[in-house]
Amino acid sequence: MVRALTQDSSGWDALEVRDVPDPVPREGQVLVQVHAAGVNPYDWHYAAGQPLIARPTLGGLTGPRPPVRGADLSGIVAAVGPGVTAFAPGDEVFGFGASGTFAELALAAVDRISRRPAELTHVEAAAVPMAAVTALQFLRAAGLTAGQRLAITGAGGGIGHFAVQIATAWGAQVTGVCSTRNAAMVRELGASDVVDYTREDFTAGGRRFDVVFTNAGRYPVRELGRVVVPGGVVLTNDGSKEGLLGPMPDLVAAPLVARFRPYRVVNVSATESGEDLAVLAGMVADGALLPIVSATYPLDHAVDAIRQVAGSGHARGKLVVKLV
């Protein structure tokens, strides 16, 4: 048996650390001894069962599936499933779990993990997968090129702080939108300009951008014409998280509104990609990417970490559950 943060039904009260049977790797999977597991708003959606319209996909009447929370991991391969040759017991890996990762052992598909960068601790590596892969795939979808001007909201959060670094490495000119306490960090990560949204609306100051990446804050697409140049791109990755529909109205309206605007609107549903993890590991090795982990939590307090990421909406960098 292994200890894990489980959830058998909807609601925060159902979250419980208890013993569950050891997961058994199937074909194409490895079993990982989890050393650390990153925390994401994804975990909050499951824990809170929000937005309500998504509840059937969050577990419906039978409770969340999988029943163990956590999506990101860094750890050591403990066993491999049938047919697995790419990894062997003892290999240090990071990536996406196929079973919940807030657990001492978790499964992972071989095409959704990569070798842990030697430069990173397990805690740092566990901060990377979902947030950094999402940042990478959004910026790629925008076709961001060197010299372009990019604004990133939520620049101090999980996705945002990776996006600042990736865009800077690609030669873009980054404006980070964040709160006062994150301004210095965002600048240190590469942003040449920082807008403190508690004091200034970045859409109102006469700035112009080739790409705007909205990870947080309510910035309706129809209002971004003030800051996006004709032919530019709006990357929409924000929206309210609670209520009946959550971000759905914004997501549905955005492409319709964009039909009448001179800029493209792009939303990406991030793909769990081992290849992209390897790209990010390469950036870490080159010194272009460093996860900022603002706090670690023991498994017994993983629920507190989940409440922080999306409940308050003001997590700084990444939060990580440390198991070893």
Ligand X SMILES: NC(=O)c1ccc[n+]([C@@H]2O[C@H](COP(=O)([O-])OP(=O)(O)OC[C@H]3O[C@@H](n4cnc5c(N)ncnc54)[C@H](OP(=O)(O)O)[C@@H]3O)[C@@H](O)[C@H]2O)c1
Listed as own residue / partner, the contacts of 202-209 with beta carbons closer than 8 Å and 24 or more positions apart are: 202/151, 202/153, 202/175, 202/177, 202/227, 203/227, 207/151, 207/175, 208/149, 209/149, 209/150, 209/151, 209/175
**Of residues 111, 85, 132, 110, the one with CA closest to residue 32:** 110
Interface residue with ligand X, options 9, 121, 179, 240 (CB under 6 A): 179
Interface residue with ligand X, options 48, 113, 150, 177 (CB under 6 A): 177
**SS3 of residue 110 by DSSP:** helix
- Minimum distance of ligand X from residue 216's CB (angstroms): 3
Q: Which residues contact 317 (CB under 8 A, 6 or more apart)?
A: 127, 156, 157, 158, 161, 185, 291, 292, 293, 294
- Minimum distance of ligand X from residue 45's CB (angstroms): 7
Residue 7 interacting with ligand X (CB under 6 A): no
Residue 269 interacting with ligand X (CB under 6 A): yes
Interface residue with ligand X, options 73, 79, 164, 178 (CB under 6 A): 178
Q: Which residues contact 188 (CB under 8 A, 6 or more apart)?
A: none
Residue with tokens 């800077």: 168
Q: State the pairing for strand pair 209-214/228-236.
A: parallel
The type of residue at 78 is: A
Residue 140 interacting with ligand X (CB under 6 A): no
Q: x/- contact string, 96-135, with ligand X (CB under 6 A)?
A: ----------------------------------xx--x-
**Of residues 129, 115, 47, the one with CA closest to residue 87:** 115
Residue 313 interacting with ligand X (CB under 6 A): yes
Residue 277 interacting with ligand X (CB under 6 A): no
User: Peptide bond preceding 51: is omega within 30 degrees of 0, i.e. cis?
Assistant: yes
- Minimum distance of ligand X from residue 263's CB (angstroms): 19
Q: Do 261 and 221 meet the contact criterion of CB atoms below 8 Å apart? A: yes
Count residues near ligand X (CB under 6 A): 32
- Minimum distance of ligand X from residue 218's CB (angstroms): 7
Residue 40 interacting with ligand X (CB under 6 A): yes
Structure tokens of 54? 């998504």
Residue 153 interacting with ligand X (CB under 6 A): yes
Interface residue with ligand X, options 270, 292, 299, 302 (CB under 6 A): 270
Choice between 1 and 53, CB closer to ligand X = 53
Q: Give the residue at shortest CB distance from ligand X.
A: 157
State the helix-helix crossing angle for 129-142 and 274-285, rounded to 10 degrees: 90
Sign (positive or negative) of CA dihedral 19, 21, 22, 25 = negative
Choice between 177 and 283, CB closer to ligand X = 177
Residue 310 interacting with ligand X (CB under 6 A): yes
- Minimum distance of ligand X from residue 94's CB (angstroms): 17
- Minimum distance of ligand X from residue 40's CB (angstroms): 5
Residue 215 interacting with ligand X (CB under 6 A): yes
Residues engaged in binding ligand X (CB under 6 A): 40-42, 130-131, 134, 153-154, 156-160, 177-179, 182, 197, 215-217, 237-238, 268-270, 309-310, 313-316
